[in-house]
Amino acid sequence: MSQNLLNELYRIVGEENVKLDEPMSKHTTFRIGGPAAYFVTPMDTEELSQVVALCRAEKMPFFVLGHGSNILVRDKGMSAVVIQLYKNYSDFSIKGERVIAKAGVMLNRLGQEIRDAGLTGFEFAAGIPGTLGGAIMMNAGAYGGEMKDIVESVSLMDYDGNLIEKSVSEMDFSYRHSIVEDEELIVIGASLKLKKGDVKAINDRMQELAIARKTKQPLEYPSAGSTFKRPEGYYAGKLIMDTGLAGYSVGDAQVSEKHCGFVINKGHASAQDVITLINDVKKKVFDKYSVELSPEVKIVGDE
């Protein structure tokens, strides 16, 4: 452990916002993952900028985390500074048809406020279990909508601490992709453009999607959401089901019998259980259909 790094983290964000050897299983929806060497929760953009600059100066790897809903942290954890933009970084405002929000706000909370303001267009995102920042980074989508449909502009920070504003066209949004990872950027907020709608109709649609999720997805178990990207011309879940892998298990990691596109943690799955299962599924599907599955879940941490 670098005492200088630790002292500087304490100075920048305060001792109460720094945790050492923090189990990442507490901060991912998979409920899996070894410890992060340093776990830091900055309060504002200035603190974030200073933490990033410190990590660069100390040659310490860092990783920006939201709600942890699309990642799998390896069992050995992360020899890094994990910077969580979540509860401390979740302010937003709604003016007319425009929503200005920070990266750490949860999509479900934002969705409820947007509904109450009588704005439509966000319904598809309101049930996604993640933060705005994570949703923008991967152009999250569901039920016919994607973030690129409602994003007007994105506020970003580069690894030198510079603030950048990019329009939706500059974000290079495509299926589960944006410019964020390609150019080593951090999402710090966004402007969303929505439309006036009827509160009851918006609420009805949100309820309809919530019921669809509950009915079709294994929400009763920890998971990272859809485990595989949709291969062109196919559905990952159907390919996995048709390969006979519903319920296939490695340790406590299992292909959900409710929706084969999800890998679930049935209790005490290790990251290695999940990784082995993912690789098994990829091989078996390829052997049967010659279709290459790519994980949608991001695997991070020390090997």
Q: Annotated catalytic sites, by residue?
A: 176, 226, 296
Assign 75 to helix, strand or coil. coil
Residues 6+ away with beta carbon under 8 Å from 193: 97, 98, 121, 150, 151, 152
First to last CA, the chain: 19
Q: In what order do the strands lie in the sheet with 223-226?
A: 223-226, 262-265, 253-255, 249-250
d(CA 18, CA 41): 7
Residue written as token pair 């292909």: 255
Cβ atoms of residues 148 and 166 within 8 Å: no
Cβ atoms of residues 170 and 112 within 8 Å: no
d(CA 106, CA 85): 11
d(CA 40, CA 65): 10
Residue 93, beta-bridge partner list:
100
Report the interhelical angle of 3-13 vs 45-57 (nearest 10°): 170
Altogether, the residues listed in the chain come to a count of 303
Extract the tokens encoding 292: 């290459």
d(CA 182, CA 265): 30
Residue 250, beta-bridge partner list:
253
Pick the closest to residue 161 from 46, 12, 245 (CA basis): 46
